[in-house]
Structures are given as structure tokens and as C-alpha cells.
Amino acid sequence: MRTLLVLLDKEFRQFIRNPFLPKMVVVFPLMVMLVIPWVTTMDVRHIRISVVDNDRTAASRRLVQKIAASDYFTLQDVAGHYGTSLAELEAGVVDVIVEIPDDFERSIVAGSPKKVSISANGVNALKGNLGMQYTVQVVMQTLAGLRGDEGLPAAPEMVAVQNRYNPTLEYRYYMIPALMIMLLIMLCGFLPALNLVGEKETGTIEQINVTPVGRFTFTLAKLIPFWIIGLVVLAVAMLLGWIVYGLAPAGSFGAVYLAAALFILTMSGMGVIAANNSSTMQQAMFVMFFFVMVFVLMSGLITPIESMPGWAQWITRFFPPRYFIDVMRAVYLKGTAIGELWGSYAALAAFAVVFNAVATLTYRKQA
């Protein structure tokens, strides 16, 4: 028992003296318990809706007011032409289009109501499906109320639904690009960190430190193999996605590879930063796992960013995967061109420059 107590005393002292582990034990549970429950909700809210009012009557205005009053919707605008709303849908400004037909009010009074058309963005299968269902419910309730005012029973099939970009709302089409992103995070983020820290543990890095090799050259030599591995793995993943699931990019391969190259640079730089500030492989793994967990849960990889609280949406602007996810899904499912996604590409390029510069500067070379 005395030996056990001595060993326990040693372990506690060693834990407290560690500059990293006590902080991780405090920060990680706080992040998991206080932040993650708020941002991992599957309840889709703030669905952006554009209404095309071709009728412009009291009935159509009542439907618009009903949509605007719902907690689930954000009424983006009331357009006069479907083409205007469709351009907003393609640009990602709105999520659902509700088109009210001509003579809508007159058709209700006549007892043969015209169908309301709903077009949902199917790139995000979860949000598109739930958003479409919420919209249908609101429209059907409003139409039932309008027919009730005229003393008519509710009529079935008064709504026509169209899911754009992902007509069948296949969830795997939405998740396959996300799985490719996870592969790049693991291969180009984790492996460079573990490789570098492994050399620290074995002592071989000391042989490099006494040579004239510069910090930039050493860092570059460490990263280039993982850049190549990342691009090759992405090509294999895209090939498997096409062969197994029949999913190929609707846009250009160049747009995918440009974003992937910038993201690989960013994640590898992040891995080197973690390795430069870690003494053991376990410590590096904890640091990378912490950030990967945050990236997965708060970058739109699984849950829509628009459903998160405002403060959480603001924080996600500092997460590189957010921009890569936007590019991958837009190019894969919508065929979006590079010029239309210049903001996401610019953000990835900025992250790549900053992360790799910090990685080079934080490598402490001692002669």
C-alpha cells in the first residue's frame, strides 16, 4: 500500500507539473459541455425563404405573413419574378422558393385552387428536406384557413415540391464530399504532427538541429510528402465516389483540386504548429483531436451553420474547413465555378499562408 501511495503521489505531481495536460483537462470538458450542445442541433431553423408573389392579392399576402411569422423561417424577400429568386437560390442567398401562381385567390374561391410551387436547395440534404417539410406545413395550414373562410373543405395536393441540385435528397451525396474532407484532415493534419513529434521522441531530430539545414527547408521537406499523399488520396476517393455511388463533380475538377491544395497546405501547417509545441506523440494527438472535434461539429460538416446561434456562426469564420466544405458541396452538387466562390478560395489561401508561416517560425532550431 505504501508503494502504491508513493506512485500515486508521483503521478499527481507529474501531472500538475505538465504544462499542457492540466489546461486540456479544464478546457476540453468546458468546450464539450458548454458549446457543443448548442451547435450540434439537428433542428433546422433560420431557413431563408424567397416568395414569388404572382397573384398580389389578400390571400397571397396572408401566406407571406404566415411564413414571415414562423420561428423557423427568415423571409429574405418577396420577388416579382421567379428568375430573381432562382438566382438567389443558386448563389446560396436563400434556401427555399415559394411561388404563388396567378389567380391564386380566385382559384380558391372557385373551388379549384392552383398549386403553390416550392423549390428547395437540395445541396444540404438535411436542411433541404426539413426546410421543404416545414414550408409545406405552413403553406397547407394557410391554404386550409383560406378555404375555410370560403366555407370549402381542405383540398389535397395543393403544393408542388421540387428539390434542386439533389432531387432525391440522397444523404450520402451530401456526406461524400464531407468524408473526403475528413480524410484530408486526418492525413494532412494528424500525420505530419505525429511524424515530427516521433522524431523528437526518438532523438533523431537532434541530428537535424546541428546541421546547417534551415527551418523553412526542414519544414518543407516534412510537408511535401503529405501534400502528395493528400492529393492522391483525394483522387482515389473521387474515383470511388463515382464508381460506387455514381457521384461525380457537377463542376470542374480544377475547382476541387485548387481548394483541396489550399486546404492541405492549411492543415499540414496546423499539424506542424501542433508538433512544434508538443513534446510527445500523445500530447500532439490530444491537441489535433481537440481541433478536429471542433472542426467536425462547428464547420457545417454535419449540422448546418445557419441553425447555430449567432455567436457560434461568427466563430466558424475562423475555421478553415468551413470554406472547404462550401467549395466541395457547391462544386460537387451545383457545378459552381471558381469565380463564384472566390471568397472561400481567398479565405483558404489566407489560412494556408498564416498557418505555414507560423509553422516555420515556431520550429526552434538549436545548433
* Residue whose C-alpha is closest to residue 92's, from 40, 165, 39: 165
* Same domain membership, residue 98 and residue 190: no
Q: Is the pLDDT of residue 364 over 80?
A: no
* Same domain membership, residue 178 and residue 290: yes
Select the more confidently predicted residue: 99 or 141. Answer: 99
In a domain, 237, yes or no: yes
Question: What contacts 24+ positions apart, CB below 8 Å, involve 220-224?
Answer: 222/192, 222/195, 222/196, 222/272, 223/192, 223/268, 223/269, 223/272, 223/356
14: cell is 507529474
* Same domain membership, residue 53 and residue 177: no
* Same domain membership, residue 258 and residue 110: no
Mean pLDDT across the stretch 228-243?
A: 84
Look at the chain and report how many structural domains it folds into. Answer: 2
* Same domain membership, residue 92 and residue 207: no
Q: Is residue 50 a contact partner of residue 88, using CB atoms and an 8 Å limit?
A: yes
Select from 97, 131, 164 the last residue of a domain: 164
pLDDT digits (tens, 9 = 90+) for 183-201: 888 888 887 887 778 777 7
Select from 140, 164, 188 the last residue of a domain: 164
Q: Is the pLDDT of residue 312 over 70?
A: yes
Domain that residue 123 falls in: 47-164
Q: For residue 177, what pLDDT is reported? A: 82
* Same domain membership, residue 177 and residue 143: no
Q: Is residue 91 a contact partner of residue 132, using CB atoms and an 8 Å limit?
A: no
From CA 200, how far away is CA 206, in angstroms rounded? 8
Burial tier of 230 (Cβ tally within 10 Å: 0-12, 13-18, 19+): buried
Beta bridge partners of 163: 120
pLDDT digits (tens, 9 = 90+) for 250-302: 888 899 999 999 999 999 889 888 888 888 888 888 888 888 888 888 888 77
* Same domain membership, residue 322 and residue 191: yes
* Same domain membership, residue 112 and residue 219: no
Select the more confidently predicted residue: 351 or 218. Answer: 351
In a domain, 15, yes or no: no
Q: Is residue 302 a contact partner of residue 223, using CB atoms and an 8 Å limit?
A: no
Select from 123, 142, 164 the last residue of a domain: 164
Q: Is residue 31 a contact partner of residue 294, using CB atoms and an 8 Å limit?
A: yes
Q: Is the pLDDT of residue 240 over 80?
A: yes
From CA 278, how far away is CA 216, in angstroms rounded? 19
257: cell is 483540386
* Same domain membership, residue 205 and residue 61: no
* Residue whose C-alpha is closest to residue 304's, from 16, 14, 40, 19: 40
Q: Is residue 297 a contact partner of residue 35, using CB atoms and an 8 Å limit?
A: no
Q: For helices 320-329 and 342-362, what crossing angle results, to 10°?
A: 140
pLDDT-above-70 percentage for the chain: 77
**Residues with Cβ within 8 Å of residue 134, at least 6 apart in sequence:** 44, 47, 70, 72, 73
In a domain, 265, yes or no: yes
Count of C-beta atoms within a 10 Å radius of residue 121? 25
* Same domain membership, residue 138 and residue 211: no
| Ranges of H-type helices in the chain | 2-17, 21-34, 36-39, 58-69, 82-90, 104-110, 125-149, 171-185, 191-202, 205-209, 215-245, 253-276, 281-298, 310-315, 320-329, 342-362
Rounded to whole angstroms, what are the CA distances from 201 to 270, 278, 282?
20, 10, 11
Q: For residue 154, what pLDDT is reported? A: 56
Burial tier of 336 (Cβ tally within 10 Å: 0-12, 13-18, 19+): buried
pLDDT band at 51 (very low <50, low <70, confident <90, very high): very high
In a domain, 9, yes or no: no
**Residues with Cβ within 8 Å of residue 334, at least 6 apart in sequence:** 90, 123, 165, 250, 251
Looking up residue 76, the CATH number of its domain turns out to be: 3.40.1710.10
* Same domain membership, residue 290 and residue 350: yes
In a domain, 296, yes or no: yes
* Same domain membership, residue 228 and residue 301: yes
27: cell is 478546457
Which uninterrupted H or E stretch holds 161? strand 159-164
Its pTM surpasses 0.85 = no
Using DSSP's 3-state secondary structure scheme, residue 203 falls into: coil
